[in-house]
């Protein structure tokens, strides 16, 4: 069974969040993919897209300015190409970063590329002394839909990304917030009907995890609502409409890649057994 990495904090590292405790209305920016953008949360103009954990955290910390440059389908390479320049110009006090989920789903998955992209993000944002949050990824074995054989492959890849996060969290202004040992890794209610994005409750849980990791009190008068009434009938309707659209868009590259992942892993395992 694949287990997500454990974290051993370095005692000698100074607390990078200390300065944030003296900023009443911090400037906050969010970078990443659809989970950072807010998919799975409930919204108004865009169904099933709300504030997300980044927006909820900005609300709870009474951010003076907040922008979210995350984008659906983004990979690590897209942060440096399309999101980082805006983040650098914004000069944030706090930067929220989560990436990797879309990378693990691709045939050209490259831990080296992900690490290099994250290093570029960290070094660029550190020029403005921003505190950088890296949000770890939960284990797909417990959370993702699909056959177990596929989830095992994705889990191994997620482990590699989380190990990169752990390594990079030793840098001066970087804080890692793990999720693999939290409620979101084990409770179904924390997930949207698509099982790929947090639900409203899940997004709020992540916001709380980040805020507590920063040792900051909630400064807003109250949290954003997480109540949502989604009947089984509506869930089915959502999957048929939104889910079908997503599947159609990704079927050209994603489905063949996932099939190849399972086939190649079976070939690798078969060769390993024969060589024993």
Q: What is the pLDDT of residue 74?
A: 94
Q: What is the pLDDT of residue 25?
A: 95
> Residue ranges per domain, the chain?
18-274
Q: What is the pLDDT of residue 267?
A: 67
Q: What is the pLDDT of residue 216?
A: 95
Q: What is the pLDDT of residue 173?
A: 92
In the chain, which stretches have pLDDT less than 70? 1-13, 43-49, 144-146, 185, 193, 195, 228-273, 275-276
Q: What pTM does this model have? A: 0.81
User: Is residue 111 a contact partner of residue 161, using CB atoms and an 8 Å limit?
Assistant: yes
Tens-digit pLDDT profile for residues 123-133: 999 999 999 99
Q: C-alpha angle 165/268/140, rounded to 5°? A: 40
User: Is residue 122 a contact partner of residue 174, using CB atoms and an 8 Å limit?
Assistant: yes
18-274: what fold?
Rossmann fold (3.40.50)
DSSP string, 166-178: HHHTTSTTEEEE-
Q: What is the pLDDT of residue 226?
A: 86
DSSP 242: I
């Amino acid at each position: 069974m694949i287990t997500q990495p454990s974290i051993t904090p370095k005692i000698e590292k100074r607390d990078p969040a200390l300065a944030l405790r003296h900023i009443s209305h911090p400037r906050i920016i969010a970078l990443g993919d659809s989970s950072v953008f807010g998919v799975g949360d409930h919204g108004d103009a865009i169904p099933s897209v709300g504030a997300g954990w980044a927006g909820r955290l900005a609300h709870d910390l009474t951010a003076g300015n907040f922008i979210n440059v995350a984008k659906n389908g983004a990979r690590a390479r897209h942060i440096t190409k399309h999101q980082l320049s805006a983040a650098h110009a914004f000069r944030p006090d706090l930067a929220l970063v989560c990436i990797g989920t879309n990378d693990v789903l691709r045939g050209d998955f490259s831990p080296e590329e992900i690490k290099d992209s994250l290093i570029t993000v960290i070094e660029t944002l550190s020029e403005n002394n921003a505190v950088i949050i890296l949000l770890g990824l939960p284990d797909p074995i417990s959370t993702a839909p699909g056959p177990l054989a596929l989830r095992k492959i994705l889990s191994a890849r997620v482990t590699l990304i989380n190990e990169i996060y752990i390594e990079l969290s030793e840098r001066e202004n970087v804080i890692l917030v793990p999720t693999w040992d939290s409620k979101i890794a084990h409770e179904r209610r924390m997930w949207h009907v698509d099982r790929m994005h947090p639900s409203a409750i899940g997004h709020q849980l992540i916001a709380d995890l980040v805020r507590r990791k920063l040792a900051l009190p909630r400064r807003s008068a109250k949290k954003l609502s997480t109540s949502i009434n989604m009947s089984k009938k509506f869930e089915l309707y959502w999957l048929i409409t939104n889910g079908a659209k997503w599947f159609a868009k990704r079927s050209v590259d994603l489905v063949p890649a996932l099939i190849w992942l399972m086939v190649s892993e079976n070939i690798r395992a078969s060769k390993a057994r024969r060589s024993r």
